[in-house]
Structure 1
Amino acid sequence: MYLYYFTPRDLQVARVDRQCIVRFCEAFGKYFDKLFLISVKIKLAEEEIKSDDLYQLYGVKRTFEFVQLPVNIYQKNPKKFDALKILWAYSVFAFRNIRKCKEETYIYLKNYAYSIPFLFLKFFNKKIKIIFEIHNPPKKYYQAYLMKKFDKIIANSNVLAKELMETYQGISYKILGTHQGINLNYVNSIRIPKYEARARLNLPKDKIIVLYTGKVYYGYKEIDYYISTAKLLSDKYLVLIVGGRKDHVDRIRNENENAGNLRFISFVPPNEIYYYHFAADILLIYYPSGFILNNYRSPGKIFDYMASGNPIIAADYPVLEEILESNKEALFVEKDNPAKLASKIDELARDTERRKILAQNAMEKVQRFTWEKRAEGIIQFINHKR
């Protein structure tokens, strides 16, 4: 049994979502004779850092084979035909490597349009099965049409799975709701005490460190909220924002150079980011409203936070409460309101015992969300015949 996991991303340029893909494939690979992780190779902006060793970059075992497809795409100046270039690369690869497969072969995708060449091959070769991971309900007719053709549908949260099952009752048996995950064995193998993590990262010992790690780019409202929040907090706090391309981070930093309790650190390799989680006192996940994805998302970052041993404050999106129980495993705060966020940070910082309880409960809960358990659940679902 073979599986080809296709992603239209250059996985050798690290991002949080890409880390999730790689770590999932690490866990999923043991269930297949061979798992191929298929990435594209793009031409990067000068500011980007690219690793030569994917396995070292993400700290994963070689349970899958990594393949890169060269495409003539530039990161800094994306073109409207870039998607067609990826589609062509997928089509050529599929024709050469998958078309005549004689064993059961699964194609794992997240993009509707890129599924077309595989649906075509599936029509002629019944050994080919398509697993589609979905993060939002279909927005267009063609997406709903294609979704009905897939063999299995992995919804990225339980609320999304429920909505899909109600809307598409005829294919409800094809749908599984599941969340992202974490490699707890890896995190525990590198875990160090807070004081040691701060010394390693040259962070102050006497500050209450409030941390965000993840997507950072100029104009992103979530980052603007953290900046506004920092300005409402006293200098006993350090609001630390980690991640993003250097050019974007430099621009944001220069515009906020007078905020003494705010610090930016650009891109950090995924296998190093955990030390920042260990060093923090409070971890933030505060998505701005206005994005449909917020109703369904399962952010990989939240599981990393849960494993850190530090408490979490999150925006009050119901989907996050599928993962974290309010006031038991995290504190939830009104969205789009930096003043309320600052107040909640201050409240939690003053209550050492509550911080310990929230952190401990989250660490216990995260054991349910390992990549191994996600992979096991999906493989059982795949093997279940209607």
Structure 2
Amino acid sequence: MDNSSLKIVYVTHARIPTQKAHGLATVKLCEAFAKAGAEVELVVPRVWFSGDEDIHSFYNTQRNFAVTRLPAIDLGFLGMFERATFPLRFISFSKIAAWYCLWKYNKANRVVYMSHDTIPLYFLSFIAKNIFYDIHDFPSHSLFARRVMKTARGFSVQARSKIPFLMEHFGVSQEKIAYWPNGTEVSQFMAEGITKEEARKKLSIPLQKKIVLYTGQLFGWKGVDTFIRASSMIPDADFYIVGGTKKDIMRTKREARESQNANIHFFGYRPHDQMPVWLRAADVAVLPNTGREDISRYWTSPMKLFEYMASGTPIVASRLPSIEEVVDEGSAFFAEADSPQSFADAIQKAFRHGKEKGERAQQESARYTWDARAEKILTHIRTVLG
């Protein structure tokens, strides 16, 4: 069986498009499935704060997969009470998505239903047999998750550490699990058409300063507090934070003010297609994940890591299993998680000796593409379906 005989329906109750990484991972995987020859449909809820914004334009993807928006009970207009209404949106959308799939694909063969959310798969499991769980976070032991873990025909994970835990906690056989990390658009992040000086001029940032860069969200487990505290130990460098929601930026700015760090600069959210320019402008890119939470130590496959690698910018990262399965001492400078002094020392080393490791990381980044991840999963699906 080749990929052209596969129909993949990827269902998620997440808001897409979104500034958060899971949206990019979902859309890029769908694009890569379609590039490999599969017929792909992405099914998402229609919610009030994203409207009908074009997903392909937002993520700059090929228009090689269909996007279907289905209604959901959405009370997002309640503002501060919005979070309390999330379960209603999730469940209403998931039920509607199951009915939609039953109506559209009831008599179709070789249809595979995939999601990184357990609730849509829970309802789909009552009407379809080809359920595949693309595990982003480690699953809970909820009613929804238990049924999905029992009925799914296959699983895909981005972090190797998830495999023994799935086997131990859910009795999943290793043969049902496909492993491959997240990825990136390697050629895009190499940014070969622009120099560091040109990138800095384009971004209107100083040409002569040493620049240390963090990109992405500001959740607690991302370790940005360590990044901020390390900045005070290298006062002659500027530390840039590109990303984060308005709420998280306000909180993190307060932390920076309390630490009296004058060399921390916040640039807020920037479109993903600008990230190669920011990385070209930087002297060092930092991945300061905390070691205090399992999601950071074991379960994550940070997309920013692959972007950093492809850019060739020297990397300083927390020494954690989730990161060490991708880079080693030859391609990154490691620091002890949650230790500002360790990060400051590693950043100084990267300033002086980073060129060789940056080049090595860039060479190794060629393995970590969305196409490679999609092909690994498709091969697994073909094996399972027979």
Residues in 2 aligned to 1:6 and 1:37: alpha-carbon distance in whole angstroms: 6
Q: CA deviation at 1:247?
A: 4.3
Aligned residues: CA RMSD: 2.5
Structure 2, unmatched stretches of 5+, are 1-5
Residues in 1 aligned to 2:80 and 2:71: alpha-carbon distance in whole angstroms: 17
**In the alignment, which residue of structure 2 is the partner of 1:157?**
159
Residues in 2 aligned to 1:32 and 1:93: alpha-carbon distance in whole angstroms: 24
2:93 is matched by which residue type in structure 1? Answer: A
2:303 is matched by which residue type in structure 1? Answer: G
Preserved CA contact (<8 Å) 2:70 2:96 = no
Residue 13 of structure 1 pairs with residue 14 of structure 2: no
Q: CA deviation at 1:56?
A: 2.2
Residue 383 and residue 8 in structure 1: after superposition, are their counterparts in 2 closer, same or farther (change >3 A)? Answer: same
Residues in 1 aligned to 2:52 and 2:268: alpha-carbon distance in whole angstroms: 16
Residues in 1 aligned to 2:264 and 2:12: alpha-carbon distance in whole angstroms: 35
Higher helix share: 2
**In the alignment, which residue of structure 2 is the partner of 1:244?**
244
Residue 62 of structure 1 pairs with residue 63 of structure 2: yes
Q: TM-score if structure 1 supplies the norm length?
A: 0.88
Q: CA deviation at 1:320?
A: 1.2
Residue of structure 2 aligned with 1:107, choices 95, 107, 113: 113
Aligned length: 371
Secondary structure (helix, strand or coil) at the match of 1:121 reads coil
For 1:1-386, list aligned pairs within 5 A.
Answer: 1-44=6-49, 52-71=53-72, 72-74=74-76, 76-99=80-103, 100-122=106-128, 128-140=129-141, 142=143, 143-165=145-167, 171-188=173-190, 191-216=193-218, 222-235=223-236, 237-253=237-253, 256=256, 258-294=260-296, 295-325=298-328, 327-349=329-351, 351=352, 354-385=353-384
Residues in 2 aligned to 1:245 and 1:271: alpha-carbon distance in whole angstroms: 18
For residues 115-137 of structure 1, the C-alpha deviation after alignment (integer angstroms, 9 at most, x for no partner) is: 12100002xxxxx5111012455
How high is the sequence identity, in percent, across the aligned residues?
25
Residues in 2 aligned to 1:78 and 1:210: alpha-carbon distance in whole angstroms: 36
For residues 345-374 of structure 1, the C-alpha deviation after alignment (integer angstroms, 9 at most, x for no partner) is: 12221x2xx311111110111111111111
Secondary structure (helix, strand or coil) at the match of 2:178 reads strand
Preserved CA contact (<8 Å) 2:34 2:40 = yes
For residues 111-164 of structure 1, the C-alpha deviation after alignment (integer angstroms, 9 at most, x for no partner) is: 223312100002xxxxx5111012455442743453121011112222222443
Moved over 4 A (4+): 166-170, 188-191
Preserved CA contact (<8 Å) 1:155 1:177 = yes
Preserved CA contact (<8 Å) 2:190 2:276 = no
Preserved CA contact (<8 Å) 1:4 1:108 = yes
Residues in 2 aligned to 1:193 and 1:261: alpha-carbon distance in whole angstroms: 24
Q: TM-score if structure 2 supplies the norm length?
A: 0.88
Residues in 2 aligned to 1:162 and 1:276: alpha-carbon distance in whole angstroms: 37
For residues 216-254 of structure 1, the C-alpha deviation after alignment (integer angstroms, 9 at most, x for no partner) is: 26x67722222211112122x010001112344245336
Structure 1, unmatched stretches of 5+, are 123-127
**In the alignment, which residue of structure 2 is the partner of 1:125?**
none
Q: CA deviation at 1:109?
A: 1.1
Q: CA deviation at 1:82?
A: 2.2
Residue 76 and residue 6 in structure 1: after superposition, are their counterparts in 2 closer, same or farther (change >3 A)? Answer: farther
2:201 is matched by which residue type in structure 1? Answer: A
Residues in 2 aligned to 1:76 and 1:171: alpha-carbon distance in whole angstroms: 43
Residue 59 and residue 170 in structure 1: after superposition, are their counterparts in 2 closer, same or farther (change >3 A)? Answer: closer
**In the alignment, which residue of structure 1 is the partner of 2:3?**
none
